Chains A and B, each alone.
Chain A
Amino acid sequence: MRGATRVTWAFGCATVVTLAAAGCGGGAGGGAAAGSDAGIVRAFWTDPQNPLEPANTNEVQGGKVLEMAFRGLKRYNPRTGKAENAVAKSIETDDQQNFDITLKKGWKFSDGTPVTAKSFVDAWNYGALVTNRQVSSYFFEYIDGYEDVHPENESAKPKAKKMSGLKVTGRNSFKVKLNQKFSQWPDTLGYAAFSPLPEKFFTDHEGWLKKPVGNGPYKIDSYTKGQSMRLSVNKEYAGPDKPKNKGVELKVYTDQNTGYTDLQAGNLDVFDELPAGQLKNAKRDLGGRYINQPAGILQTLSFPLYRKEWKSEKAKQVRRGLSMAINRKEVTEKIYHGTRRPAGDLTSPVLSKAGGFEPDMCGDVCKYDPKEAKKLIEDAGGLPGGKVTLTSNVDTGSHRQWMDAVCNSINKTLDKNGACSVNPVPTFGEFRKDIAGKKLKSMFRTGWQMDYPLIQNFMQPLYYTGASSNDAGYSDKRVDKLIDEANAAGEAEAVAKFQKAESIVLDDLPAVPLWYQDGNAGYSQRVSDVRLNPFSVPVFTDIRVK
């Protein structure tokens, strides 16, 4: 009898605990009433990877916020991708190396403090200083004195805290001296790392990180890491692109598929990370509220030219053969449902012809021709060691599927099973570690998402000797010289020089162009005028809420 009561007590207790827990959550459940959401765009988001600072953000989700809450000297036109003056009134140079920058008057941060030349110089010095551990500090590497604040050597201590190439000359003007000639440098200044920072960033860093303050069209009202960020219209904003809605709520999702379900159910307005598995249905499911437009992303296959067997003249012929053995059209249609397009050069359609995009530059080498491919490879003595492997991380981007398809295509061409096999690496971190350590033995995936819409950005970081993303270990004196010349030349001439360098790279083929990647998004019936910019980030200021 006594025991029985105890059993009852145990069950009763469990119930009470549950009810108590229920009580805690019940109150908060009401959430935002319908009224407070009027005019607010609800958009998909995942937590930024690093703390949200302009020079410490190198992925799309953090970049989304910076695009809303900050404006730099320049901004890339969301339609054309062209760099246009934002805070800058003028950026002038006579020698492509010394620049005089003047700011427009009247710009303010959302806390009311003015945007001055010092806001830029301090922010750039902060971003470049190695002890601040900013992952994008290399953006400042062209400024004179960068090596002093950011020594290349791992253990070296910075010699200075400020770059000697930056000089404030007045409240609204400053001078920049570069360590080399770089004609297109002003056009790189639209990148988020070059954003100005208010006084508060330096005096109350912790507080600033909890609620970042910028000078963009929106101001951040609240930021709960891992849950959501609410932004409202910044009344101090001096730029021309004032928001056409009342604000944006960025909602963190645990999974892309959940975001897609929520979009279909009408609880989410803008969703720019459509899961690969849904691309096939998206057009039908969303009934026209589906966007597919070029983005500055190129996928390539690189070869480890740092290895003997891939360096030789014969290996070059093998690389050409492998390129011709890949049926790009079929992969882009069957696996990616038209959200990728077969690539014919090393840039991206977002550059447009004037910016250096030339879809036929690669010529026949990038066209599927199994007969010629087989002949080329066999004439060169076959694949090195009789077979090749294709390596990539497989945790994102449905890489596994296209790798299988490409290998099948190569096997079919060579009429030999096992000529090409896939080598999947579980995580991106591990894959990048192998690449950085130059440990790859055969073909591997290299994707490039542009930092700014310039042909320079598609060439120099990737194919200049010893450049930061030259994963193939490619080195050619002619290419280096042409890139140097292009940087010293005026803008129009620069593009032609870069293209000349590009054609040499395509001839050597350290990397085989695969496909241009498009940006995809879907939106709800509640909103209109949704578009993506060339970085495949939604242009939030344009969105209207019905």
Chain B
Amino acid sequence: MGRYVIRRLLQMVPVFLGTTFLIFVMVYAVGDPVNAMFGDRAPDPATAAQLRAQFNLDKPLWMQYVLYLGDIFTGDFGNAFNGQPVTELMSRAFPVTLRLALIALVIEICIGIALGVVTGLKRGRPLDSSVLMLTLVVISVPTFVTGTLAQYLLGVKWGWIAPAVSPEAPVGQLLLPGLVLALLSLAYVTRLTRASISENVRADYVRTALAKGLPRARVNVRHLLRNSLIPVVTFLGTDVGNLMAGALVTERIFNIQGVGFQLWQGIVRQNSPTVVGFVTILVIVFLLANLLVDLLYAVLDPRIRYA
């Protein structure tokens, strides 16, 4: 197990270098950020040259990357163009988004798996069909529609909530955005669980357990559910990263100043240090979440062993 973890961690190094380099090239290849700082006016060449030197933009791309990477290993993610250290932006944005993502994840797990188990066991019944229909609706309606609609109805029309989340982003205000963010994955979790349960419900080990005289509820939870959760856990693992990065739309709608908002600002203003810095952290989150999922397999199914 320990050796497996070390091997996996070592494998992350080339993946990390490759992805960050690609992002770096992509961001830096799009236009000239210094030009945009001058607005509708032609940049004054002398000031522009000074700014380029400050942000290392006057050096060849590979050298910029090496310099940037060197800084990252010392914990310095550079400064955004408005002079604010990117690490400062991160320390404010990541906790907010993490909170939002966790709320979404809990909603997904609780409601999604429960609905999946119920429909999986009652396949073909009216309840099953109506839940299937509902998930189809959720999957086909884009997040910005559900988000804006929920915001307008609950926030403006009925006045139950504040339409915009305050900068501190307390949990109470994040519940609705969390639900909106969770909806899409919730539908997938329901469908995945349902398929997996309905497949395993006829498996030999379930029949054996029932024949042994174990109570139905116990068989469902301890035997059936545990075996059926493997694909769901895989999905949830990758979804942690998706939720953090994919919060972009939800965060804009509800004025949540998290990762998605900072990324969007960085892209709009061609603020390369912000974009590359945030994506670098997201890459690490993705990699770690995947590792965690792989390790969880062994917990769910002891037959899976890592040497």
Spell out A's residues near B (CB within 8 Å): 3-4, 6-7, 10-11, 14-15, 17-18, 21-22, 24-26, 28-29, 31, 47-51, 58-59, 130-131, 133-135, 137-138, 150-156, 209, 224-228, 252-255, 257-259, 261-262, 264-265, 267-268, 395, 426-430, 432-433, 435-436, 446-449, 461, 468-469, 471
Q: A227-B257, A253-B255 are in contact. Are A258 and B171 (CB under 8 A)?
A: no
- Do B105 and A14 have beta carbons less than 8 Å apart? yes
A-B contact list, 17 entries, CB within 8 Å: A10-B296, A21-B171, A24-B95, A48-B82, A51-B83, A227-B92, A227-B167, A252-B257, A254-B261, A262-B255, A265-B156, A265-B162, A265-B163, A267-B163, A427-B270, A428-B36, A433-B31
Q: A267-B163, A395-B268 are in contact. Are A255 and B81 (CB under 8 A)?
A: no
Residue of A whose beta carbon sits closest to that of B222: A4
Which of B47, B106, B173 contacts A18 (CB under 8 A)? B106
Whether B166 is near chain A, meaning CB under 8 Å from some CB there, is yes
Which of B44, B92, B256 contacts A254 (CB under 8 A)? B256
Q: How many residues of B contact A (CB 8 A)?
A: 76
**B interface, over-half SS:** helix
A173 to B66, CA, bound (A): 52
A401 to B81, CA, bound (A): 31
Residue of A whose beta carbon sits closest to that of B102: A18
For the complex formed, measure the closest distance between the CB of B125 and the CB atoms of chain A, giving whole angstroms.
27
A479 to B84, CA, bound (A): 44
A395 to B299, CA, bound (A): 49
Residue of B whose beta carbon sits closest to that of A266: B159
Q: Which residues of B contact A253 (CB under 8 A)?
A: 164, 255
- Do B39 and A58 have beta carbons less than 8 Å apart? yes
Q: Which residues of A contact B159 (CB under 8 A)?
A: 265
- What 4 A-B pairs are tightest by C-beta distance, nearest first? A29-B170, A429-B36, A430-B31, A28-B168
Q: A3-B226, A255-B252 are in contact. Are A150 and B166 (CB under 8 A)?
A: no
Q: Which residues of A contact B45 (CB under 8 A)?
A: 152-154
Q: Which residues of B contact A265 (CB under 8 A)?
A: 155-156, 159, 162-163
A511 to B297, CA, bound (A): 67
Spell out B's residues near A (CB within 8 Å): 30-33, 35-51, 54, 81-84, 88-89, 92, 95, 98-99, 102-103, 105-106, 109, 148, 151-152, 155-156, 159, 162-164, 166-174, 222, 226, 229, 251-257, 261-262, 264-265, 268-270, 296, 299-300, 302
- Do A25 and B82 have beta carbons less than 8 Å apart? no
Q: Which residues of A contact B81 (CB under 8 A)?
A: 49-50
For the complex formed, measure the closest distance between the CB of A398 and the CB atoms of chain B, giving whole angstroms.
16
Q: Which residues of B contact A137 (CB under 8 A)?
A: 44, 47
Which of A15, A18, A430 contacts B30 (CB under 8 A)? A430
- Do A258 and B252 have beta carbons less than 8 Å apart? yes
Q: Which residues of A contact B253 (CB under 8 A)?
A: 255, 257-258
- Do A135 and B265 have beta carbons less than 8 Å apart? no
A29 to B162, CA, bound (A): 12
- Do B83 and A209 have beta carbons less than 8 Å apart? yes
- Do B50 and A29 have beta carbons less than 8 Å apart? no
Residue of A whose beta carbon sits closest to that of B152: A261
Q: Which residues of B contact A428 (CB under 8 A)?
A: 36
For the complex formed, measure the closest distance between the CB of A221 and the CB atoms of chain B, giving whole angstroms.
16
Q: A152-B46, A262-B255 are in contact. Are A21 and B168 (CB under 8 A)?
A: no
